């Protein structure tokens, strides 16, 4: 009954649905077709596109979603746009569309080469007075091939009032910031990671398991970026902090701080994100990639990605109307979990207990605790894969939003089968007032954090020093935890606390809280101004960090200082930390700054040297 009602709702909303390769309009014929359809019910906000559809209908579907989402930064609508295997668009009639907020675009092939789009997938700056891509969050592109083709005079679109409405854009402009991953794509042509028609800063970003051929990726105004396990055909400039881990091809050489490229030949342990796909018979499955050790390059260019296919029947496909109790009943009966697009109000945590479980989000499903509870708890077990989920703090303070591992000393963790959090994001305030002491706590060993953004909102709704309260973004208690692309911003005490041994962080981006009201309100200890952004506990004897940046901008017109950005045990082995930097962001509106980079080493970044990286190449 739920399947039928949901698909009838889709007809009411869109006037048409896609069943296999055909279009059925609303009416008696639709009812007959719905009754006989055996496909999974992903809900009305998962739009499945097929190569047999008229391109005009594909374009209209994409434009309809984009029109709703392009300016919808704190809205409640979420969408997944899924392309069945085949080819879309052509050189003479390219398929060109924008990706807005809370929208995931993905191919449904087992290989990225199974879905080919001839055209462009774009993300332009927002222009309200000034133009910027600094807030282009919560969108994704994955598992497809893009041959970049645009009409000879393609006008760049920007929300009114546009700064340059006549710019003829002949390239793919994909201006993104945090929580906007590019994964498992093959791009042929010139990709710009900024909007040159309405030039402004961007603050991304994350690319993994991808191949770029035929041209250089133009970094442009990206202040920082991580590229992991990808094949590059070139990369242009660096701004403040660009990190490359396990990439092949024409990759920038290690040169930090001038230019600020940090380059690692291999990634010590990786596990690519799980993804939905269709097999040759049209049945749906979820592919769960295996872990790779000391790897370089994409997982799929020399053969199929190693891993396991799970039939769709193994999954409970949740809708936003489902309660946590309903979801947990399915999980505890052995089901994996797909979260379809929408906002889930949870009176208790989603409790993921079985080893090698998969939780896959489609279209940025958003989990909101309602009783001061956690939104999700994950058992201390091997192979737990959580991907594509946004955690949003509720009005009642939660001690934690996502807890991975129950904290017991003995747990079923294996280095050969690590757990992984891929494209998992946290938000305190912004959409509405929310509070959480800590966003993410990792108690398990051998966990991979692969693109995590924890954000205490600095703009939007419910924002203020005593309104959206949050102490810490990420606490790592487990051993041998590896992070790639750790973005943690604006928390009110330590942003990251790392208590586990054998940890490694490749790329860290941080902004300290903007809204500190006074120095007295922000003191790590008597006589110690502020809080470090990244604290490695005194008990830790082994930790490695690469390409780690912390920025300050205190906007209350009071001099606020942090004694240091990074606080680590002085007895760490020599050269444990590589390529650290701090920056003072705004000399016009900002005050104070950061006095040292790491412990008592490194100069200060204040109004005296704004927008200038202060660096430490190696520590101790």
Catalytically active residues are: 511
Distance (Å) of CA 33 to CA 16, 36, 54: 12, 5, 20
Exposure of 311 in the CB half-sphere (CA atoms within 13 A)? 6
DSSP 138-178: SEEEEEEEEEE---TT-BPP-SSSPS-TT-B--SEEB---S
Residue 237, both tokens? 């400039």
Cα dihedral value 286, 292, 295, 297, nearest 10: -10
Contact between 321 and 1 under an 8 Å Cβ cutoff? The reply is no
DSSP bridge pairs for 548: 508, 580
Report the relative pairing of strands 16-19 and 376-378 from DSSP bridges. Answer: unpaired
* CA 566/CA 123 separation, integer angstroms: 34
527 Cβ partners below 8 Å, 6+ apart? Answer: none
Q: 33 in helix, strand or coil?
A: helix
Q: d(Cα 538, Cα 287) in Å, to the nearest integer?
A: 40
Can you give the C-alpha Rg of the chain in angstroms?
23
- Asked if 541 and 571 count as a contact pair (C-beta separation under 8 A), the reply is yes
Please, are residues 167 and 194 in contact by the beta-carbon 8 Å criterion? no
What is the biggest distance separating any 2 CA atoms in the chain, rounded to whole angstroms?
75
Concatenated DSSP letters for 116-141?
EEEEEEEBPPEEESEEE-TT--SEEE
CB atoms within 10 A of CB 506: 25
Confirm if 456 and 429 have CB atoms less than 8 A apart: yes
> Could you give phi then psi for residue 30, rounded to 5 degrees?
-65, -40
Other Cβ atoms less than 10 A from the Cβ of 307: the count is 16
The sign of the torsion formed by the CA atoms of 176, 301, 447, 576 equals negative
Positive or negative, the CA dihedral 281, 282, 286, 290 is positive
Closest CA to 339 of 312, 313, 362, 369: 362
Strands 614-619 and 577-584, sheet pairing: antiparallel
**How far is it, in rounded angstroms, from Cα 387 to Cα 402?**
13
Nearest to 182 by CA among 423, 362, 421: 423
Coil/strand/helix, residue 532: coil
Q: 67 near 90, Cβ under 8 Å?
A: no
């Amino acid at each position: 009954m739920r399947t039928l009602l949901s698909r009838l709702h889709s007809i009411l909303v869109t006037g048409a649905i896609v069943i296999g390769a055909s279009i059925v309009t609303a009416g008696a014929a639709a009812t007959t077709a719905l009754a006989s359809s055996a496909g999974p019910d992903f809900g009305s906000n998962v739009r499945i596109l097929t190569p047999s559809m008229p391109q005009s209908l594909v374009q209209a579907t994409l434009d309809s979603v984009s029109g709703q989402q392009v300016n919808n930064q704190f809205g409640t609508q979420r969408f997944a746009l899924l392309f069945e295997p085949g080819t879309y668009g052509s050189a003479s009639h390219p398929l060109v569309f924008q990706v807005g907020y809370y929208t995931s675009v993905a191919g449904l092939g087992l290989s990225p080469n199974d879905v080919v789009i001839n055209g462009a997938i774009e993300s332009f700056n927002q222009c309200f007075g000034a133009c910027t891509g600094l807030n282009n969050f919560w969108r994704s592109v994955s598992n497809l091939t893009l041959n970049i083709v645009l009409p000879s005079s393609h006008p760049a679109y920007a929300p009114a009032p546009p700064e340059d409405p006549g710019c003829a854009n002949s390239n793919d402009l994909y201006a993104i910031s945090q929580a906007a991953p590019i994964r498992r794509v093959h791009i042929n042509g010139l990709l710009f990671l900024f909007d040159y028609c309405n030039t402004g800063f961007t603050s991304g970003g994350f690319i993994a398991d991808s191949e770029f051929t035929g041209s250089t990726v133009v970094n442009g105004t990206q202040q920082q970026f991580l590229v992991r396990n990808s094949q590059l055909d070139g990369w242009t400039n660096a701004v403040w902090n660009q990190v490359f881990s396990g990439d092949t091809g024409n990759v920038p050489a290690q040169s930090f701080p001038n230019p600020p490229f940090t380059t690692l030949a291999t990634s010590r342990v990786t596990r690519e994100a799980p993804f939905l796909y269709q097999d040759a018979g049209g049945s749906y499955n979820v592919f769960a990639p295996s872990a790779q050790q000391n790897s370089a390059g994409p997982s799929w260019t020399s053969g199929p990605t190693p891993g396991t296919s799970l039939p769709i029947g193994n999954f409970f496909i949740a809708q936003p109307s489902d309660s946590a109790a309903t979801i947990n009943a399915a999980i505890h009966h052995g089901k994996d979990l797909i979260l379809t697009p929408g906002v889930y109000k949870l009176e208790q945590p989603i409790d993921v207990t079985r080893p090698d479980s998969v939780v896959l989000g489609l279209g940025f499903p958003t989990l909101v605790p309602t009783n001061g509870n956690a939104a999700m708890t994950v058992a201390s077990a091997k192979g737990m894969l959580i991907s594509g989920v946004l955690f949003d703090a509720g009005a009642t303070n939660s001690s934690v939003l996502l807890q991975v591992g129950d904290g017991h000393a003995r747990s079923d963790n294996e280095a050969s089968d690590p757990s992984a959090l891929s494209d998992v994001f946290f938000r305190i305030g912004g959409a509405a007032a929310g509070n959480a002491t800590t966003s993410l706590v990792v108690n398990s060993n051998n966990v991979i954090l692969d693109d995590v953004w924890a954000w205490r909102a600095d703009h939007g709704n419910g924002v203020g020093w005593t309104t959206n309260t949050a102490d810490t973004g990420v606490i790592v208690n487990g051993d041998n935890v590896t992070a790639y692309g750790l973005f943690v911003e604006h928390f009110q005490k330590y942003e990251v606390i790392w208590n586990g041994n054998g940890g490694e962080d490749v790329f860290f981006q941080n902004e300290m809280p903007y809204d500190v009201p006074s120095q007295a309100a922000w003191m790590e200890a008597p006589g110690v101004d502020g809080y470090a952004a990244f604290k490695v506990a005194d008990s830790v004897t082994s930790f490695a960090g690469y390409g780690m940046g912390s920025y300050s901008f205190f906007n209350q017109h009071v001099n606020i200082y942090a004694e240091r950005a990074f606080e680590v045990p002085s007895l760490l082995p020599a050269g444990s930390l590589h390529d650290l930097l701090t920056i003072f962001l705004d000399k016009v509106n900002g005050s104070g700054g950061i006095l040292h980079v790491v412990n008592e080493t490194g100069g200060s970044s204040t109004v005296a040297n704004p927008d200038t990286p202060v660096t430490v190449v190696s520590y101790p």
